Structure 1
């Protein structure tokens, strides 16, 4: 059995990982132009892959909003960038809530503790960003919670996304440390990919079962061995 989404749009996934590697190298060697150009191609490549696999429109919208946020953040437009990421999280929460297979209140409680602990730790150093970060962190936490409700792979992606943004928050609050920027880039790129792959994987299962799972179905191609 071969699953179509693993092969369809392979050029886009190859492009995504090539851009990710180039971006990490640009961060490591402090190349501003290469960092901007590589970051600008990341999420569009992933969104193109999802679209080529007939993935859910909300996932494509989330990735494109993330792409806008990426570009704005690289250009140091922090608040507009956060607004675009918040739009991405709104799409993610809507998608994950609709396709949730379980609603674990333990997950909600655990992420609630993470949210409160993070805000307490960062609050003194956030200054004028306290309001925007508090509001954004609520959306980020909602994505993390509902991603686990959706499924394990997607939940891992949501956790990595949260880790990435927590590292950004640490920098805003003055808690910098070696490799922080490189680590957040790795967590972000891996997290978004895990989310996309997890949603497409769940969609392929929905397609095989006639779409009865409440998840957007993705066409599946099978072949006998």
Structure 2
């Protein structure tokens, strides 16, 4: 009975996340900043509560709450708030990296290892190329923080693949979302309604990352880690 109640609460929380996400995107589409200010801060607390009720690891909940801190800070129009928000997101990425190390799998054969290596090279090239292109157009005081955060974000996106396709896609979308923000800071040409695309990719990224972690955690059970030794 208790398990049924937890499942029901989890479904309600996930539905709430979907409703808040839809409302936030509609507010951006309608150029209603008040709606965005109201609904954006609701997103990650709902997703964090869903992860906790679903029996996910505590670090996942903490990572999502650091993301919530970043969301709130980025609603404030100030350079210091932007840096604080980026720092909060960075702490969230560190939590994700610990989770990926605990619950991710290493490639089992040479072909899989080759694909993982190729993916790492692609992410590395994307990082170097993006930072090099953005660097001259970023405000001087943000160049180093953005470069350091980009490195952490890229490692997170790459390592997310250790938990499977769902988490890997979430990591890639997170990287895309924050890259769109960086191009806006650098005053590059933007897609129509850039805030809408930033939030759409971000909302999907956090959901996919949370889902990927929950699946991996459920598959192995709490307190377990994948085998790291050699088969004898």
State whether structure 2 residue 214 is matched by structure 1 residue 200.
yes
TM norm structure 1: 0.87
- Once residues 180 and 198 of structure 1 are traced to their aligned partners in structure 2, the CA distance between those partners, rounded to angstroms, is 27
**Per-residue deviation, residues 73-109 of structure 1 (Å, max 9, x unmatched):** 0112211100100011110111112222126322221
Task: Indicate if the aligned counterparts of 2:103 and 2:216 stay in contact, CA closer than 8 A.
Answer: no
Specify the SS of the correspondent of 1:9: helix
Q: 1:35-74 maps to which residues of 2 (within 5 A)? A: 35-74=36-75
TM norm structure 2: 0.85
Task: Indicate if the aligned counterparts of 2:21 and 2:40 stay in contact, CA closer than 8 A.
Answer: yes
Structure 1 moving runs of 4+ over 6 Å: 3-6
Moved more, 175-184 or 78-87: 175-184
1:78: which partner in 2? 82
Moved more, 157-166 or 198-207: 198-207
2:204: which partner in 1? 190
State whether structure 2 residue 90 is matched by structure 1 residue 89.
no
Post-superposition offset of 1:211: 6.8
Task: Indicate if the aligned counterparts of 2:44 and 2:68 stay in contact, CA closer than 8 A.
Answer: yes
Where do 5+ consecutive residues of structure 2 fail to align?
A: 108-115, 228-232
Aligned length: 211
RMSD (Å) for aligned C-alpha atoms: 2.0
Q: 1:44-193 maps to which residues of 2 (within 5 A)? A: 44-76=45-77, 77-102=81-106, 104-128=116-140, 129-177=142-190, 178-193=192-207
Task: Indicate if the aligned counterparts of 2:104 and 2:216 stay in contact, CA closer than 8 A.
Answer: no
Where do 5+ consecutive residues of structure 1 fail to align?
A: 216-225
Task: Indicate if the aligned counterparts of 1:102 and 1:150 stay in contact, CA closer than 8 A.
Answer: no
- Once residues 163 and 65 of structure 2 are traced to their aligned partners in structure 1, the CA distance between those partners, rounded to angstroms, is 21
Query: Higher relative CO (CA 8 A, sep ≥ 6), structure 1 or 2?
Result: 1
Post-superposition offset of 1:197: 1.0
1:23: which partner in 2? 24
- Once residues 63 and 43 of structure 1 are traced to their aligned partners in structure 2, the CA distance between those partners, rounded to angstroms, is 6
**Per-residue deviation, residues 103-156 of structure 1 (Å, max 9, x unmatched):** 632222111011011112211211221111001101101110110122111000
The verdict on how the C-alpha distance between 1:8 and 1:106 changes in structure 2, with shifts beyond 3 A counting, is farther
- Once residues 36 and 9 of structure 2 are traced to their aligned partners in structure 1, the CA distance between those partners, rounded to angstroms, is 28
